[in-house]
């Protein structure tokens, strides 16, 4: 199942066979995480990283009144907390939005891996920088895009990211989240997400129902979202 992770890495850089072997050897064990479980709590000292093999997890922060902001969604192939390798503790929580399977990688092994292969240090450094790029695009959405464009943009992003690891067809993808989950990504209320999903559906752009996203008009969807995948750094380039 680590294949999706390698797909993600190889979409952006060359990974040699030796490096691949070293990456495969780094996983200590696999684990299942039930839906809705808070998997990592902020400010707890960590000594492992978590590679998501299946399911959807999210990073989120919340306010005292309980309002929650999801800051990034993670899909299979993503390290959900690679930044803990240098941060040592996280400034946010991580939870499973669906039932998940994860692989545990001790920091110690990442240390060895990156000291033995400085190139992989840069590949993984790139990985955390990619997360930051996604954060920036979300900041743009949250600060400036209208509700409909925000939703459209998120659905575009997931289409591309899931497609990269073989989890989307050319028509759509599975997304077993609730409208409330989406609202927490988008800085909106569930009610308004529902209204805007209806609008996108009526415009023939996308349909989101029973855990599945149907892309009806990819060009049109990208247009109203002002989506360009450039921030996902899909080109292969040596680090």
Q: Which of residues 132-161 bind DNA (CB under 7 A)?
A: 146-148
Q: Which is nearer to a copy of itself, 144 or 171 (CB)?
A: 144
- Applying CB under 7 A, among 209, 235, 237, 238 the residue interacting with DNA is 209
Q: Which is nearer to a copy of itself, 17 or 235 (CB)?
A: 235
Contact 8, 33 (CB under 8 A): no
Q: Does 203 bind DNA (CB under 7 A)?
A: no
Within 10-141, strands assigned E span 29-33, 38-40, 48-54, 57-62, 68-74, 93-96, 100-106
Task: Give 54 or 137: the residue with its C-beta nearer to a copy of itself.
Answer: 137
46 in helix, strand or coil?
coil
Contact 51, 97 (CB under 8 A): no
Say which entry of DNA, a copy of itself, none residue 180 contacts (CB below 5 to 8 A, set by partner kind).
DNA
Contact 89, 44 (CB under 8 A): yes
Q: What residues make contact with a copy of itself under the rule CB under 8 A?
A: 42-43, 59, 61-64, 67-69, 71-72, 83, 85-88, 91-92, 114-115, 118, 121-122, 125-126, 128-133, 135-140, 142-145, 186-187, 226, 230-231, 233, 237, 239
Tokens 């922060």 map to which residue? Answer: 61
Residue 178 CB contacts under 8 Å (≥ 6 apart), including other chains:
190
What minimum distance in Å lies between the beta carbon of 147 and a copy of itself? 12
Based on the shown chain and the rule CB under 7 A, indicate whether residue 97 belongs to the binding site for DNA: no
Residue whose CB is less far from DNA, 27 or 70:
70
Determine the Cα–Cα distance for residues 98 and 95; give it in Å rounded to an integer.
9
The residue (of 80 and 167) whose beta carbon lies closer to a copy of itself is 80
Distance CA 56, CA 77 (A): 10
Nearer Cβ to DNA, position 25 or 191? 191
- 133 touches, from DNA, a copy of itself, none (C-beta below 5 to 8 Å by class): a copy of itself
- From the list 57, 229, 216, the residue with the least C-alpha distance to 160 is 229
Query: How far from 135 is each of 70, 75, 85, 164, CA to CA, in Å?
Result: 10, 15, 19, 19
Residues that bind DNA (CB under 7 A): 146-148, 178-180, 187-192, 194-195, 197-198, 209
């Amino acid at each position: 199942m680590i294949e999706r992770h390698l797909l993600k890495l190889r979409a952006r850089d060359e990974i040699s066979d030796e490096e691949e072997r070293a990456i495969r050897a780094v996983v200590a064990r696999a684990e299942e995480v039930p839906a809705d479980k808070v998997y990592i709590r902020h400010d707890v000292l960590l000594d492992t990283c978590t590679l998501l093999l299946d399911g959807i997890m999210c990073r989120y922060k919340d306010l005292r009144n309980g309002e929650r902001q999801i800051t990034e969604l993670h899909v299979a192939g993503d390290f959900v907390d690679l930044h803990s390798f240098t941060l040592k503790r996280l400034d946010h929580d991580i939870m499973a939005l669906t039932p998940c399977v994860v692989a545990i990688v001790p920091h110690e092994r990442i240390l060895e891996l990156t000291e033995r292969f400085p190139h992989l240090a840069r590949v993984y450094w790139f990985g955390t920088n990619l997360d930051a790029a996604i954060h920036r695009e979300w900041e743009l959405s949250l600060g400036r895009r209208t509700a409909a464009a925000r939703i459209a943009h998120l659905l575009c992003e997931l289409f591309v990211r899931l497609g990269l690891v073989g989890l989307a067809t050319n028509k759509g993808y599975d997304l077993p989240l609730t409208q409330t989950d989406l609202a927490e990504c988008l800085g909106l209320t569930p009610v308004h997400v529902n209204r805007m999903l209806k609008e996108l559906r009526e415009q023939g752009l996308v349909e989101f129902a029973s855990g599945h996203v149907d892309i009806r008009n990819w060009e049109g969807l990208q247009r109203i979202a002002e989506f360009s995948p450039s921030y996902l750094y899909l080109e292969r380039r040596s680090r």
